[in-house]
Amino acid sequence: MNTQPQKIAIVTGANNGIGFETAAGMAEAGYHVVMACRSLAKAEAARDELIAKLPSASLDIILLDLGDFSSVQRFAEDFRARYEKLDVLINNAGILLYSAQTNGGGIELQFATNHLGHFLLTALLIDLMPDDPASRIVALSSLGHKGASIHFDDLTCGGDGGIAYGQSKLACLLFGDELDRRLRASGRKIKALSVHPGGSDSGLFTDMSDAQRSKLKAQVEQFLHSNASAAKPALHAALSPDVKGGDYYGPTGAQEMSGEVGHATRDPITGDLDVAGRLWSVSEELTGKTFSL
């Protein structure tokens, strides 16, 4: 059991892109960072790179495939065997697909990875979090949540990967909001917040073909900012003493693609409490985990 007094953070998808920069920012802030990654080789390479940049960084690696719920369960068990507490959970990892894919349980893979895996991970670890305003759960949404909806009758979205991606990122934002409401209702001081990174050439693009990647970058390249800048909303939500539970942060520049961090705009559907409640129930059903606060 790791009993060091240092504050502990988990960053999912910490081996590249925005997750890598988020892990770097949390380590620089003095946190012991658990890098939750699918690939051990990529995670070890990222850890070595982080230590080269920040020799004082305190890092650990635990394997996690968010699309595989048994992997999420193993991660939680491994984390609990190593650590007695968790101060910050940054649910960063995500995939972007342009074809219909499902996980081993037949669930649309983006919905399973981007939302359900993080829902389950949070449910399995939230009891380790001190009941303190500095304890944070940060959900990574996206500008892609705008105009999306939760297709409760067909979560595969008819096999349309783009629509399914928007659905998954809307689910991330709805989950962050609903979690904070439930934390407040239970009298807890832990804060749940949501963010979006704006536009960046992050690891999401690696799942595209070369032609798809080139086309998308040509369309948005003028708006893109660095992964280090794209990580700032998550770091703000995780570290700032001034944030409020339920807040949603992102870049405030043109089209919210880049710029200084501030309150981000939401799709009106995020205010529909019936949708948020139904998503919560469906998420418990699909993960097989009742979320206890």
What are the tens digits of pLDDT across the range 190-211? Answer: 999 999 997 676 555 555 556 6
Q: How far is CA 39 from CA 15, 111, 121, 223, 240, in A?
A: 8, 20, 18, 30, 31
Assessment of whether the complete model's pTM goes beyond 0.75:
yes
| Torsion on CA atoms 200, 206, 210, 215, rounded to nearest 10 | -30
Contact between 32 and 59 under an 8 Å Cβ cutoff? The reply is: yes
Q: Is 165 a catalytic residue?
A: yes
Structure tokens at 128: 């380790």
Q: What is the pLDDT of residue 262?
A: 86
Instruction: Tell me the average pLDDT across 264-268.
Output: 93
pLDDT band at residue 218 under the 50/70/90 scheme: low
Residue 153: name the closest of 169, 167, 174, 166 by CA: 167
How many Å apart are CA 99 and CA 246, to the nearest integer? 32
Q: In residues, how long is the chain?
A: 293
Residue 27 has pLDDT above 80, yes or no: yes
Catalytic member of 31, 83, 165, 249? 165
User: What per-residue string of b and e applies to 173-192 under the rule 16 or more CB within 10 Å gives b?
Assistant: bbbbbbbbbebeeeebebbb
How many Å apart are CA 11 and CA 128, to the nearest integer? 16
pLDDT band at residue 223 under the 50/70/90 scheme: low
Q: Kindly give, in sequence order, each residue whose CB lies less than 8 Å from that of residue 249, ignoring residues fewer than 6 positions away.
A: 193, 194, 195, 196, 233, 236, 237, 243, 261, 262, 263, 264
How many Å apart are CA 193 and CA 136, to the nearest integer? 7
pLDDT digits (tens, 9 = 90+) for 121-162: 999 999 999 999 999 999 999 888 999 999 999 999 999 999
How many Å apart are CA 25 and CA 30, to the nearest integer? 9
Residue 232: name the closest of 216, 246, 252, 203 by CA: 252
Q: What is the pLDDT of residue 226?
A: 79
Residue 1 has pLDDT above 90, yes or no: no
Q: Using CB atoms within 10 A of its CB, is residue 220 exposed (0-12), middle (13-18) or buried (19+)? A: middle
The structure tokens 């080789």 sit at 41
Residue 193's H or E segment, with its range, is: strand 191-195
Residues paired with 10 in a beta bridge: 34, 89
Structure tokens at 160: 């349309």
Residue 63's H or E segment, with its range, is: strand 58-63
Q: Among residues of the chain, what percentage have pLDDT more than 90? A: 78
